[in-house]
Amino acid sequence: MRFLVLVLAVFTLAGCGVNAIPTYEEQARAAWGQVENQYQRRADLIPNLVETVKGYAAHEKEVLEAVVEARAKATQMQLPADILTNPEAFERFQQVQGQITGALARLLAVVENYPDLKANQNFLALQSQLEGTENRVSVARRDYIEAVRLYNTELKTIPGVIWKSVLYSDRQPMQQFSASEGAKEVPKVNFGK
């Protein structure tokens, strides 16, 4: 009889969400790993892109240095183990990645002034890889945001809030990405005359 009650209790607990918090947490951490992976891929492409542009646009030194400096900051940043639950560390990470995005945007805008560079096969290949990587970053961030949404929702709703108080009291909500400064501003378009 005790065995039957124990088996029934195990199946009841397994079916009522006791494993949801650790499951969603692992999914969010795996999604975060993909975000880091795609940002690293982008950082790895930057030196080749800068070297290719440097040959054509040597006098654009300030823009090239900004890209190199932003990459250096990103690759030297030490991510704390609690980055997903530490708002300040998460914000610093997001700012550093935003600096790379901005520097790359300025670099690609400068490239428009160099028709020979825009036609260079090496540059075109790197530009294509960078665009693909930016798309991968976007997808990885979207997947992370969704995984964190599920995890954070589970911590705040029944039965997750009960399981959190009983078994997972050390679990904290994870941080989300937010729009960068200026992302909500409508870009100004001037076609000139």
Does residue 96 or residue 112 have the better pLDDT? 96
pTM for the structure as a whole: 0.81
Q: Are 186 and 101 in contact (CB under 8 A)?
A: no
Asked whether 71 and 45 are in contact (CB, 8 A), the reply is no
Phi-psi region of 36 (alpha: psi -120 to 50; beta: other; left: phi over 0): alpha
Q: What is the DSSP letter of 182?
A: T
The H or E element spanning position 131 is helix 121-156
Whether the CB-CB separation of 73 and 99 falls below 8 Å is answered with yes
Quote the CA–CA distance of 19 and 14 in Å, as a whole number.
7
Q: Buried b / exposed e across 168-192, counting CB within 10 Å, b at 16+? A: beebeebbeeeeeeeeeeeeeeeee
Residue 148 falls in which region: left (phi positive, over 0), alpha (psi -120 to 50) or beta: alpha
pLDDT by residue (tens digit) across 59-108? 788 888 999 999 999 999 999 999 999 999 999 999 999 999 999 999 98
Q: What is the DSSP string of 15-81?
A: HTTTTHHHHHHHHHHHHHHHHHHHHHHHHHHHHHHHHHHHHH-TT-HHHHHHHHHHHHHHHHPPPPT
Number of other residues whose CB lies within 10 A of the CB of residue 147: 21
Q: 161: Cβ–Cβ under 8 A, 6 or more apart, which residues?
A: 155
pLDDT band at 7 (very low <50, low <70, confident <90, very high): low
Return d(Cα 74, Cα 40) in angstroms, integer.
9
- Per-residue pLDDT tens over the stretch 162-174: 999 999 999 999 9
pLDDT grade for 193, boundaries at 50, 70 and 90? very low
146-171 average pLDDT score? 94
